[in-house]
Amino acid sequence: MAGDADVVVAAKKPYYFELVAGRTYYWCACGRSRKQPFCDGSHKGTGIEPLAYKATAAEEVLLCACKKTGTPPFCDGSHNNLSEVYDRDDPDSPANRAIPMIAADADGKARLNGGCAVCTIEPETLERKGVLGHRRIIGAEDGALHQSLFYLECARGVSPVVGFGDRHVVLFVSAGVGRVVIAGRSFPIDTNAGAYVRPGETFCLENDGEAPFKVFAAACPRADAIEWHEAMASNFDDKLPKRVVGLDRHARHTMGDRFFQMLVDKSIGSDVATQFIGDIPLSKATPHRHLYEESLIILSGEGCMWTEEKKAPVRAGDVIFLPRKQLHSLECTDPGGMLVVGVIYPGDNPSINY
């Protein structure tokens, strides 16, 4: 019987592939095939057999190349843990030294390659509705297709009722303490906690203190504007009672020398809009891509966001928009590390990269 030790790592990154609906593929499980990621018969004598997979739909997928995945034939991010250190790039290599640092445009956005942008939030640019300051940070103007991000700042009092129609809404509290009322049900929520609002539900923010209650709201798929409601419908989905998730050291996943913790994910009913919080040590990641669209908020520390031909500084409070398939690398230049929170959509695993 073949064991894990008999499996050869064909590559440390998955293979991007476009499946054809109805076709059956034979994924190489042994790692020896010269026609990766598919079987060429080289497994003979190893006791390992290829995995037959019939595609039910035409779709873009990442097929596991390290052969360590727990979800064969698809990548589950296991390649990130093949070494103790997350794959790094040298920011001082001759090629990287030639990449220029760019400044933000007048709207506070530094525009990198392929629609990737670093957005700085200027408090004076907020619009007001009652006690709520608000602004769209990421939207159609950035080329976003799958998600938009709004910044909400609630002064003392109760905010107007906010909705995003039939979309998933993923909230994150970046400062302050208060309550989020979702479809008539009230949840206390603290700094660095995430919350999930189901499609069709609305929410408001409550702040009893003097310090502003700062909340990011990601709408998935993209919403171009906030819907303001006169009253909140009491249509809370009782089948999914847990909606707020805070930091929990025991819920951390490792990824090389990094960690991340899922906040809003399928464990609380959000299958395709996923929020995670994680740390990045002093380092520059090897450039890579994702199949999901991502918004990333820098919570502490500073660094630099790189694409093929441009880079821009990032610091606490900034937001990064990352389109699907855009090559990128986030560098932390802070000896104390960088804390980030991200929303990916559509996707359920932020460690899957290629």
Binding site for ligand FES (CB under 6 A): 28-30, 32-33, 39-43, 48, 50
Instruction: Check: CB of residue 61 under 8 Å from CB of residue 70.
Output: no
Closer residue to ligand FES (CB): 38 or 259: 38
Q: Phi and psi (nearest 5°) for 38?
A: -105, 160
**DSSP 8-state secondary structure symbol assigned to residue 51:** E
Instruction: Check: CB of residue 194 under 8 Å from CB of residue 248.
Output: no
What DSSP assignment string belongs to 17-29? EEE-TT-EEEE-S
Closer residue to ligand FES (CB): 7 or 180: 7
Closer residue to ligand FES (CB): 27 or 86: 27
Write down the least CB distance from residue 30 to ligand FES, Å: 3
Closer residue to ligand FES (CB): 75 or 183: 75
Instruction: State how far the Cα of 284 lies from the Cα of 305, in Å rounded to an integer.
Output: 9
Write down the least CB distance from residue 19 to ligand FES, Å: 18
Exposed / middle / buried, residue 24 (Cβ in 10 Å: 0-12, 13-18, 19+): exposed
- Cα atoms found within 13 Å of the Cα of residue 175, Cβ hemisphere only: 15
The type of residue at 268 is I
Closer residue to ligand FES (CB): 35 or 288: 35
Q: Phi and psi (nearest 5°) for 105?
A: -75, 180
Instruction: State how far the Cα of 336 lies from the Cα of 134, in Å rounded to an integer.
Output: 31
According to DSSP, the residues that pair with 187 across neighbouring strands are 180
Closer residue to ligand FES (CB): 72 or 91: 72
Closer residue to ligand FES (CB): 45 or 335: 45
Write down the least CB distance from residue 60 to ligand FES, Å: 23
Write down the least CB distance from residue 115 to ligand FES, Å: 38
Write down the least CB distance from residue 52 to ligand FES, Å: 11
Distance of CA 19 to the CA centre of its chain: 24
Closest CA to 324 of 54, 19, 59: 59
Write down the least CB distance from residue 87 to ligand FES, Å: 24
Peptide bond into 73 cis (omega under 30): yes
Instruction: State how far the Cα of 318 lies from the Cα of 245, in Å rounded to an integer.
Output: 22
Closer residue to ligand FES (CB): 42 or 333: 42
According to DSSP, the residues that pair with 186 across neighbouring strands are 181
Write down the least CB distance from residue 139 to ligand FES, Å: 45
Write down the least CB distance from residue 353 to ligand FES, Å: 23
Write down the least CB distance from residue 26 to ligand FES, Å: 7
Closer residue to ligand FES (CB): 31 or 163: 31
Closer residue to ligand FES (CB): 73 or 313: 73
- 195 membership: H or E segment, kind and range: strand 194-197
Strands 338-345 and 274-280: antiparallel
Write down the least CB distance from residue 3 to ligand FES, Å: 15
The type of residue at 295 is S
What is the number of H-type helices and E-type strands within the chain? 1, 29
